[in-house]
Amino acid sequence: MAAGSGLLLRALGLAVLLLPVVPRGPPGAAERRCFCQVTGHLDDCTCDVETIDAFNNYKLFPRLNELLQSDYFRYYKVNLKKPCPFWNDNSHCGIRDCAVKPCPSDEVPDGIRSGSYKYSEEANNLAEECEEAKRLGAVDGSLSKETQQAVLQWTRHDDSSDSFCEADDIYSPDAEYVDLLLNPERYTGYKGPDAWKIWNSIYEENCFKPQNVKRPLTSGRGDDGGHMFYKWLKGVCVEKRAFYKLISGLHASINIHLSARYLLQDTWSEKKWGPNVTEFQQRFDEVITRGEGPRRLKNLYFLYLIELRALSKVLPFFERPGFQLYTGNKSHDAEMKNLLLEILHLAKSFPLHFNENSFFAGNKKEAVKLKEEFRLHFKNISKIMDCVGCFKCRLWGKLQTQGLGTALKILFSENLIEKIPESGPSYGFQLTRQEIVALFNAFGRISTSVRELENFKNILRNMR
């Protein structure tokens, strides 16, 4: 037993020696190592980091944060019991902080429970049409089972052909409402091979990258500092480059959340969460990450611009008098819609928007093919979220991929959005309540990340 203990201690000592060492230096050196390259113009954009910081931190973030506290946006319906579709792995994180506490149905506002699909006054007004459709549906009894199944598949295709995500069936018995405010995204202890497997699958199999091109920091002793990878990335079309940057930006954002809400104290009397600067440095310090950290942070800003552009484009959908954030509390719903429109008008006023017209602008036939590849690759990533072993990580992973997928759906539906009538139903372009909640909460996570970077800058500025 003693010999085994000695071996264990030596192994632990070796593990400690292998951990990245956070370099020290004069005051301000730590800040420069993380942020010196995160300044000025972003690649493939006309915008600069400083403009985003000022706009987000002092104008948009406070309003968005208030909106996300409201009942409409805090309740999200999710199925956390779906099996992983890609590998046989039923292992789930046993760490206490990985658990998600669903809402008893009586805690969810009546308005949300009664209309969680096409979510507006106009949908409620279509009830009579639905009854008529049911009566007409009786004719289907004369159809063969195969034909009935085909009709169902056509209907599903109509609903999903513009979708970038594999959305949960919210009518499944396994789908439950979760209060996002009571299940915040933060460090849970979920890491190691299982978490690495998820991100590796996303990057290696879904980011258009050939197998022989190794990502930075993943190939051990054969690592060339990312030279071959960035040479490849620079040579691919703008759409594939953007796809990688979106995923990298999402990854960076999640890592910022985990570093900013880290479990600093866990005693019988209290738990204390707060910023873990060492964790942040190990993920973003230029020296520790061999130059990769600042690139990740720049990709976060790229992601911010993409989602902000989607919000500016979708304004006509929410401006219609028939649309309301319906929870059943009439005065509060009207107040929240006004705040929502204020945020969308603010998004539209941003001076240096990303120009999405550069996407899929080449040969028409090739552009259509590439757009479909883009959509299917992202849809695949949304399916991978069902393989995440930590339920809280799975919840926020599913929500953020659905939010980004909804943003992409908006950007690629511009023609349909322009044709939305000022009153009456919007048949050409539609968002479900799930998509709306995911869209704004996902952007709320990105906005929070940009805000947290300012906090980490201030902390690092005073470190030695």
Please identify every residue annotated as catalytic. Answer: 390, 393
- Distance from C-alpha of 112 to C-alpha of 325, rounded to nearest angstrom: 9
Q: What is the DSSP letter of 118?
A: B
Helix count and strand count (H, E) for the chain: 20, 4
Q: Give the C-alpha separation, 37 to 385, whole Å.
A: 31
Beta bridge partners of 75: 179
- Cite the annotated binding site for FAD by residue number: 186, 188, 199, 248, 251, 283
Residue 58 is classified by DSSP as: I
- Residue 227, token pair as written in the block: 């030279």
Amino acid at 199: W
Asked if 303 contacts 245 with a C-beta cutoff of 8 angstroms, the reply is: yes
Do 384 and 198 contact (CB within 8 A), yes or no? yes
Please report the DSSP string for 322-336 in residue order.
T----SS-HHHHHHH
Buried b (16+ CB within 10 A) or exposed e, 174-191: ebbbbbbeebebbbbebe
Tell me whether residue 210 is exposed, middle or buried, using C-beta atoms within 10 angstroms of its C-beta: 0 to 12, 13 to 18, 19 or more.
exposed
**Residue 451 is encoded by which pair of tokens?**
């805000």
Q: In whole angstroms, what is the distance from residue 50 CA to residue 395 CA?
A: 32
Contact 176, 116 (CB under 8 A): no
DSSP strands (E only) in 218-303: 262-266, 271-274
CA–CA gap between residue 72 and residue 67 (Å, rounded): 9
| Distance separating alpha carbons of residues 198 and 210, to the nearest angstrom | 18
> Residues comprising the binding site?
186, 188, 199, 248, 251, 283
Write the CA distances from 208 to 203, 213, 243, 386, integer angstroms: 8, 11, 8, 21
Runs of H (alpha helix) within 75-183 = 110-114, 121-125, 127-137, 145-160
Taking the C-alpha atoms of residue 42 and residue 51, their distance in angstroms, rounded to an integer, is 11
Quote the tokens at residue 144. 């063969």
